[in-house]
Amino acid sequence: MKSTTRVVVIGGGVVGCSVLYHLTKLGWSDVMLLERSELTSGSTWHAAGGFHTLNGDTNMAALQGYTIRLYRELEELTGMSCGLHHVGGITLADNRDRFDMLVAERAKHRYMGLETEIVGPEEIAKLAPIVNLDGIIGALYDPLDGHLDPSGTTHAYARAARMGGAEIHLHTKVLETNPRPDGTWGVVTDKGTIHTEHVVNAGGLWAREVGAMAGVYLPLHPMEHQYLVTEETPEIYERDSEHPHVMDPAGESYLRQEGRGLCIGFYEQPCRPWAVDGTPWDFGHELLPDDFDKIEDSISFAFRQFPVLERAGIKSVIHGPFTFAPDGNPLVGPIPGMRGYWSACGVMAGFSQGGGVGLMLAQWMTHGECERDVSALDVARFGEWISPGYTLPKVIENYQKRFSVSYPNEELPAARPLRTSPMYDIFDGMGAVWGAQYGLEVANYFAEGDEPRYETPSFRRSNAWEATAREVRAVRQACGINEVHNFGKYRVTGPNARAWLDHVMAGRIPKPGRLSLTPMLSHAGRIIGDFTVACLSETEFRLTASYGAQAYHMRWFLQHPQDGVTIENISDSSTGFQLAGPKARDILQACTRTDLSDMRFLDVRRMTVGMTDCLVQRVSYTGDLGFEIYCDPMNQRQLWHALWTAGQPHGLKPFGMRAMMSLRLDRFFGSWGREYGPDYTAAETGLDRFIRWDKDFIGKAAAEAERASPPDRQLVVFEVDAADADVTAYEPVWIDGAVRGFCTSGGYSHWLEKSIAYALIPRSDLRDDLVAEIEILGRRCTARLQSAPLFDVEGTRLRG
């Protein structure tokens, strides 16, 4: 075993071997994998081996499609069999909500190139005759679904990696991972120490323990999972072809053919976490004791759904652990604040996602960024606030909801409330209906009277409709107040602060006392931030962006250091309120001795509001006259009482995020994670209008190339003739009878009483009188292109 290498991958499961292979595929041959036992030890060897493309996140679904298509390539490259069975699969729907979800997913697949289809009971009977169709409305059929041999597939990845120059060392236990002053690592094993530039934690069941060696907490937890294999079954072995997979969300089960019998696994409600205090190092190829008690109800349901099971004897029981992150997605990418340390763990669906995870991480390591937005799996989506006490109940919740309907407006209750602002009890007493963002409680809207304190999850317009409309009217007609605690906020100081910002941000950096809006671009010109920059002096700036992207943005900042610059994340040490609406100036003026009459749009000033020293910015995401007022959290309640008292004669009302997202539609304001993100460029989304071209900045070459040769697609806004459901994201856009684009977000403008959709469509299809169709829950709705904002077109209210 050599003592130096470019990359050490720790863990020989399917994910570790995929990462190793993809690194060699992208040109890094000096790479090494270390495995404490044999390849597949841990979760890989006892996996059921199923694969499917269905995933609520579009990019995850695309990566799963890549993974599945990769297996044939591996077989051709290595000459080894992955044991592929492309039998197709159906996901059953026994109620309207489940059917709505499948119809919405099918719509997304139209522009993703996935050939799925919605089938009715008659077609289900032909595809999967063992299904009891009582109560079944329909299903989603995916011809790509299937299963494979977990061991054969893992060894095929390993052989492909070796063919590319990689080394694999078995029975080599990692004891320590020690950072060196130059940013490299010393990986100490029971066979010697290896000096490496990069460490990849693909430890699977042991990822927590491997991370702890480097002082890293990875929010994941193993869960016990059980599946059964039956004896030979005539209804199966007498068929002319292999039976397709069947996923039954109502029964929390998946079923497939196994030889001449069946395999069925469960995501039961009385589930059990495993190894709460740490995974034993001597665990590997063992299984857990059979536990029929916890799946008793699931088995009873399965007997009704698949009557053939009641006549089939049980041949074997597989009961083993595998890991989940709090939201069920993998933990992939560079650990924030650490150089050369990468995560590739929490991949609970390894044979659906392992190839995509390996590709994305290899691109990240070799190219500096991925070809698509990987926010859903980025390890930086969880901040320093996360703990084992939060992770465990969220993992249990996620396991239990593995096959549940995933609603666009659903707020999951486990491990909440965790983080709250000083306003929590006041807003709670005012009827706040809470959501959570990045662990923080955020008011979605305020219930009044006998309105329920719970928003019903739905694909259609929810019971928050009236409350949201009421809050929108309050803002537009008088004034609304909400918190700014869920904005990401950063303080940049030092003699070189302006120069650093000019390099990191693509837009104009303002003069003292002013604000500017600017995109932040990756080296490839993709949007990785949408910022407001406030200049307090030539050596002090404040940045505002998405609260949920804190770790992501801080990681980028720290990867581009400059002498004479200090960057601080002050997201939780700076809070306050937003006032928005035609009476906003009158209310604020009643609370301060500072004259606001000459405070222009995009001005920033320090002033005392009530008894509180504040930083006040003349800007509002509502598209109306507004102010963002920032203060120390210790003073926030006093600030509230001052503003609230002064606001009562003017009709001041609280409003939440549901109203905020409706109000932004009126002015065609895009949103981070929807219109703006790493899948898109400034020229595609219109953010290029904020770029300052006469300076050097990260991503300039790519942005200039698009300036010279505009991209093929452009962000536009449609007014939609919707019925009882609005656009959420990724609905297909039909133009001249073909799918030509997709929606990035949308919703209902309660002020304009119109359904609005943002979409990316080909520039070649753009025309002023364009009438398209947007498919919402299976219905193609007429959509008319809008060329200008529908509220305050001249910006009189916003800038006045």
Q: What is the pLDDT of residues 328-351, one digit of tens each?
A: 999 999 999 999 999 999 999 899
pLDDT of 794 > 90? The answer is no
Name residue 196's beta-bridge partners.
5, 185
The answer to whether the CB of 11 falls within 8 A of the CB of 37 is no
Other Cβ atoms closer than 10 A to 43: 22
CA atoms lying within 13 Å on the CB side of residue 332: 31
d(CA 143, CA 122): 18
722: Cα separation from own chain's centroid: 27
Phi, psi of 514 (to 5 degrees): -130, 160
Which 8-state DSSP code applies to residue 603?
Answer: B
pLDDT of 593 > 90? The answer is yes
Residues 6+ apart with CB under 8 A from 461: 724, 725, 726, 748
d(CA 611, CA 634): 12
Encoding tokens for residue 87? 């039998």
Encoding tokens for residue 747? 């919703």
What pTM was computed for the model?
Answer: 0.95
Question: Would you call the peptide bond into 452 cis, given omega within 30 degrees of 0 as the criterion?
Answer: no
Amino acid in position 442: V
pLDDT of 592 > 90? The answer is yes
Mean pLDDT of 758-782: 96
d(CA 785, CA 769): 7
Q: For residues 393-403, b (16+ Cβ closer than 10 Å) or e, as one string?
A: bbbbbbbbbbb
User: Cα separations (Å) of 486 from 437, 604, 786?
Assistant: 8, 19, 30
d(CA 800, CA 795): 8
Across the chain, mean pLDDT equals 96
Strands (E), 478-603: 479-483, 487-493, 515-521, 527-537, 540-546, 566-569, 575-580
Condensed to tens digits (0 to 9), the pLDDT of residues 646-675 reads: 999 999 999 999 999 999 999 999 999 999
Nearest to residue 325, comparing CAs of 404, 380, 284, 362? Answer: 380
Task: Indicate if the alpha-carbon torsion angle 427, 432, 436, 437 is positive or negative.
Answer: negative
> Helix or strand or coil: residue 687?
helix
Encoding tokens for residue 245? 């997979």
- pLDDT at res. 48: 85
The answer to whether the CB of 323 falls within 8 A of the CB of 204 is yes
User: Cα separations (Å) of 427 from 11, 255, 431, 453, 656?
Assistant: 47, 47, 7, 12, 10
pLDDT of 56 > 80? The answer is no
Phi, psi of 213 (to 5 degrees): -60, -30
d(CA 486, CA 670): 17
Mean pLDDT of 364-383: 95
pLDDT of 367 > 80? The answer is yes
pLDDT of 113 > 90? The answer is no
Polymer length of the chain: 800
Question: Pairing mode, if any, of strands 4-10 and 89-93?
Answer: unpaired
The answer to whether the CB of 727 falls within 8 A of the CB of 744 is no
pLDDT of 507 > 80? The answer is yes
Which 8-state DSSP code applies to residue 572?
Answer: T
> Helix or strand or coil: residue 556?
helix
State the distance between the two ends of the chain, measured CA to CA, in whole angstroms. 71
> Helix or strand or coil: residue 690?
helix
- pLDDT at res. 51: 86
- pLDDT at res. 53: 81
d(CA 468, CA 472): 6
Name residue 531's beta-bridge partners.
518
pLDDT interval class at 257 (50, 70, 90):
very high
Nearest to residue 150, comparing CAs of 83, 241, 235? Answer: 83
Encoding tokens for residue 619? 């800007």
Mean pLDDT of 538-550: 97
pLDDT of 232 > 80? The answer is yes
The answer to whether the CB of 224 falls within 8 A of the CB of 273 is yes
* Torsion angle, alpha carbons of 346, 348, 351, 357, to 10: -30
Amino acid in position 339: R
Element (H, E) at 528: strand 527-537
The answer to whether the CB of 398 falls within 8 A of the CB of 273 is no
d(CA 87, CA 262): 14
Residue whose tokens read 């929807």: 674
How open is the CA angle 176-179-184, to the nearest 5 degrees?
A: 115
- pLDDT at res. 133: 96
Q: For residues 663-675, b (16+ Cβ closer than 10 Å) or e, as one string?
A: bbbbbbbbbbebb
Condensed to tens digits (0 to 9), the pLDDT of residues 383-421 reads: 999 999 999 999 999 999 998 888 999 999 999 999 999
Q: Which of 40-49, 446-455, 462-471, 512-521 has the lowest mean pLDDT?
A: 40-49
pLDDT of 498 > 90? The answer is yes
Encoding tokens for residue 117? 């289809």
Strands (E), 475-514: 479-483, 487-493
Mean pLDDT of 721-747: 96
- pLDDT at res. 205: 96
pLDDT interval class at 109 (50, 70, 90):
confident
Mean pLDDT of 419-432: 98
- pLDDT at res. 404: 87
* Torsion angle, alpha carbons of 126, 130, 135, 138, to 10: -40
Nearest to residue 702, comparing CAs of 524, 452, 513? Answer: 524
